[in-house]
Structure 1
Amino acid sequence: MLFNSLSFALFLPTVFLLYWFVINKNLKLQNILLLAASYYFYACWDWRFLFLLLFSTVLDYVTGLKMQDASKENEKKFWFWLSIIVNLGFLGFFKYYNFFIESFADLLHHFGFNVAIWTLKIILPVGISFYTFHGLSYVIDIYKNRIKAERNLVDYALFVSYFPLLVAGPIERATHLLPQLKKKRVFNTDKAIDGLYQIIWGLFKKMVIADSCATYANEIFEKYDTANSLTLFMGAVYFSFQIYGDFSGYSDIALGTSKLFGIDLLRNFNYPYFSRDIAEFWRRWHISLSSWFKDYLYIPLGGSRGGNRMRIRNTFIIFLVSGFWHGANWTFIIWGLLNAFYIMPSILMKTNRENIDIVAAGRKLPNFREFSQMIITFFLTMMAWVFFRSETVIKALVYLKNLFSFNFSGGIAYLSIERYSVELLLILGGFLFVEWISREREHPFFGRFTILKLILALLFIIILGVYSQITDFIYFQF
């Protein structure tokens, strides 16, 4: 069930009406309704994987209680490592089994050994990387005595499988979400309206920006070996906006949907393409994952303590794992390592915490230095996205080789064959302008509700949405 589908347009109002107008006086029933809706939402993808979600939920629920009630440290460690190994084992099997087998066979072939390998036709369960990380953070927080184990199974199951965030995040923390699930929620008109506006903005980013850019990016990346430099440059630009509109659009819809039920989720994007360096970019892009790796991997490894050697090692580990988390392909690993190289100068010179505030705060325009920094940061990010988008490392390298061949013959030939290419460039320019003037707010529609504003927003999406096709969200595959 896609957020941008008719089925979700029917599903969401039904749950909303039952939640606020039928069982609004009973918190327990509200949570049961949300849990049932979440399981139905997930079953619409593939009901068979619902059992995997249930198993993961019960495993972490039980291990949490066992750790909480353990009388000896060894007993507590046993349950902790059982949960970690089983969770990562399932994630590794479904996501990385074929990758490791095929990579091993390729290595042997490189040394002259041809072996027959057996691979499974494994279907990757939607959202497994996200709900696995929900459970892992919960178990780790209990083990570190940061939180107490949740004894209400319904509340814990809802924390893991809450449908707005179930399949593509944001990656929530038990310390943030569980207290909201246990507290009675009162309907707040302003919050609900704000949530509705955020959903509309998310739909615009997905249906108009991401899906329209995908039309161009897909075809250009298919012509990676024949297109000229300008065309390949535009392909990288289009994919940069596609993945941003796609993933941040999903996050906006998720946060807005959750606000309709009186529940706040962690913010996942904060205008990352206005970043002045790579460190700032990663504080503004996929915030919930970046902070998860920081808290549960980077700091336990020693963080920035111990001098440059430890900072370099831990930084590369974080980005290597981040790349691997995104997918079982060497392209993602290189994408992660490339970002590690990008951020290394600021780590070594200890300037990675310089750009904390919003760029050009209180001003209409950035100064020349800020503008130059944003352009350079976007360009570096865009080059890394080429690896993220390409099917293989070889294709990515050929793409970049041809991009930097400075072959300008024929101009941007690709744009001349599409009926609405100029319109899309104008839309992207307008999109950047709206984001820029809204960068100090959570989303552009923030403000007083008016029926006219709502109607105009919906018409805007409908009219411009004719240029795109309904597609899955990119991060569903992760």
Structure 2
Amino acid sequence: MLFNSLDFAIFLPIVFILYWFVFNKSLKWQNLLVAAASYLFYGWWDWRFLSLIFFSTLVDYFVGRNLGVVSNKSHRKILLWISIIVNLGFLGFFKYYNFFLDNFKSAFSIAGIELNANSLNIILPVGISFYTFQTLSYTIDVYKNRLEPAKDFISFTAFVSFFPQLVAGPIERATNLLPQFYKSRKFDYSKAVDGMRQILWGLFKKIVIADNCAVYANHIFENSADMSGSTLLLGAIFFTFQIYGDFSGYSDIAIGTARLFGFNLMQNFAFPYFSRDIAEFWRRWHISLSTWFRDYLYIPLGGSRGGTWMKVRNTFIIFIVSGFWHGANWTFIVWGALNAIYFLPLLLTKRNRQNMEDVAQNSYLPSLKELWQMGLTFSLTVIAWVFFRAENLGHAISYLGGMFSKSMFSVPYYQGIGYAKFIIPLLFIFIIVEWLGRRNQFALEKLFLNQSSFIRLMLYYTIAILIFLNAGEEQQFIYFQF
């Protein structure tokens, strides 16, 4: 079920009314409704994979319960590895089986040995990368005694399958989300209004910004051999805003929806395109994933505490694994490695934490230095996104080669570019609104709150009208494929 679909527009109010007006007398019944609604939400896409998420939930629930009573270190490690093997085993099979098989076949073929193994027609379950990491955070935290094991199976099931963030995050930590299912929740009007405001902005980012940019980005990338360098640059910029509007839009809708039900999810995007260096960008982009890798992979590997070699090794490991998490394609691995190359100079010169506060902290406008830093960081990010979007490495290299040709300084043109001109002013307005709201959790959180209700309503109605005018065929979210 897509957030930007009529199905969800019917589903959400029904669940909301049942949650607050029918099941509000009992916490257990509310949690049961959340779990049932979440399974309906997930099964709407393909009911066959409900058994997969249910089995993963069962395994981690019983592993957690046993970790709570077993004190023997070796036995505890066995329990932890059961969870890791089951969860990563499912993820590895559905997401990476064909990738490894094809690469093994290619490697043996170079050596003159032909393997007869055939690829499988595997359907990737939506959201498997997200809920796998969420349940792993639970078992790891219980193993390390950071969290008490869940004793209520209904609450744990609701935590694993919580529909707002089930299929594309944020990847919630058990330490944050799970305890919220244990506490009584009362309807908070101000929290609900804030949630609706965030949902509105998320839909705008998805339907108006991302889906419009996708039309032009797709056309340019799919016909890149025939495009000038300036047109290829324009296509890369369109994709840069497409992926941000698409993914951060999903996160906004997820966080806002959770607030309607009294839950607080972590911020997943903090205006990353206003970053002044790559380190700051990765503190602001897909925060739930980058902090997950930091806490459960980078720090256990030694983090940046060791010598230069260890710092370099750990940096490349975390970025390459992050790239591989996104998909079974060498383009994602190179994308991750490229970001590691961007990041290393900052780490080795100990400047990776120099921009911890919001840009233009005490000013409406950035300084010339900040403007240059943001421009450089954005440019590096655009180049990296080419690998992320390209069909394969050859496509990415040829795309960049064409982009950095002499024709880069020509006027962008392709058949139908006249329609693309309408989205460019909209992007500028979008950037201005994001800039004005950059110190908040999302752009509309406090924008114009000190103005009259008439001005605020005009703003919200304008956004709603733009969403309605741009709403056409339902477009899947990019991160559903991850």
> 1:108 offset after TM fit, Å?
2.4
User: How far did residue 106 of structure 1 move?
Assistant: 1.7
Question: Match for residue 477 of structure 2?
Answer: 473
Residue number among 462, 465, 469 corresponding to 1:462 in the alignment: 465
What's 1:144 paired with?
144
Identity %: 56
SS in 1 for 2:51: helix
Show the counterpart of 2:330. 330
What do residues 432-463 of structure 1 show as CA deviations (whole Å, max 9, x unaligned)? 01111110112232244947634642443433
CA contact under 8 A between 1:215 and 1:468: conserved in structure 2?
A: no
User: What SS does the aligned partner of 1:364 have?
Assistant: coil
Q: CA deviation at 1:419?
A: 4.4
Corresponding residue number in structure 2 for 1:48: 48
How big is the shift at 1:410? Answer: 6.2
CA distance in 2, matches of 1:307, 1:53: 41
What secondary structure is seen at the aligned counterpart in 1 of 2:164? coil
Structure 2, unpaired ranges of 5+ = none
SS of equivalent residue, structure 1 residue 413: coil
Q: Which residue of 1 aligns with 2:339?
A: 339
Residue 5 and residue 321 in structure 1: after superposition, are their counterparts in 2 closer, same or farther (change >3 A)? Answer: same
Matches within 5 A, 1:178-197: 178-197=178-197
TM-score by length of 2: 0.96
* Residue type of the alignment partner of 1:121: N
**What is the CA distance between 1:398 and its match in structure 2?**
0.3
**How many Å apart are 1:28 and its aligned residue?**
1.1
Q: How does 1:293-304 map to 2 (within 5 A)?
A: 293-304=293-304
C-alpha distance in structure 2 between counterparts of 1:261 and 1:217, whole Å: 36
Residue of structure 2 equivalent to 1:244: 244
C-alpha contact (below 8 Å) 1:197/1:446 kept by paired residues: yes
- SS of equivalent to 2:179: helix
Kindly report which structure 2 residues correspond to 1:18-37, keeping only aligned pairs within 5 A, or say none: 18-37=18-37
Deviates more, 1:77-86 or 1:48-57: 77-86
2:10 matched residue in structure 1? 10
Alignment correspondent of 2:321: 321
Separation of aligned partners in 2, 1:410 and 1:307? 47
Match of 1:159 in 2: 159
Q: Specify the code of the residue in structure 2 equivalent to 1:303.
A: G
Letter in 1 for 2:223: K
- Measure the CA separation in 2 of the matches of 1:104 and 1:466: 49
- Residue 399 of structure 1 corresponds to 399
> In the alignment, what sits opposite 1:210?
210
Cα offset for 1:155?
0.8
Give the Å deviation of 1:363: 0.5
Aligned to 2:456: 453
* SS in structure 2 at match of 1:375: helix
Distance 1:465 1:272 in 2: 27
Deviation at 1:465, TM superposition (A): 5.2
Does the CA-based 8 Å contact 2:319-2:337 persist in structure 1?
yes
What residue is the counterpart of 1:255 in the other structure? 255
Find out whether 1:390 has 2:390 as its counterpart.
yes
C-alpha distance in 1, partners of 2:116/2:390?
A: 27
- Hey, what does 2:442 align to over in structure 1? 443
Letter in 1 for 2:422: E
CA RMSD for the aligned pairs?
Answer: 1.5
Match in the other structure for 1:422: 421
Distance (Å, rounded) in 2 between the aligned partners of 1:466 and 1:114:
55
What is the one-letter code of the residue matched to 2:376? I
Alpha carbons 1:271, 1:439 under 8 Å: kept:
yes
Stretch moving more, 139-148 or 418-427: 418-427
Q: CA deviation at 1:314?
A: 0.6
Distance 1:119 1:422 in 2: 43
Question: What amino acid sits opposite 2:31 in the alignment?
Answer: N
C-alpha change, 1:451 and 1:74, in structure 2 (3 Å) is farther
Distance 1:230 1:325 in 2: 31
Q: Please give the secondary structure, in 2, of the residue aligned with 1:407.
A: helix
CA distance in 1, matches of 2:102, 2:372: 43
Residue 226 of structure 1, CA deviation: 1.9
How high is the TM-score relative to the length of structure 1?
0.97
Q: What's the secondary structure of 2:422's corresponding residue?
A: helix
Looking at structure 1, the residues matched to 299 and 18 of structure 2 have their Cα atoms a distance apart, in angstroms, of 43
Q: Which amino acid aligns with 2:157?
A: A
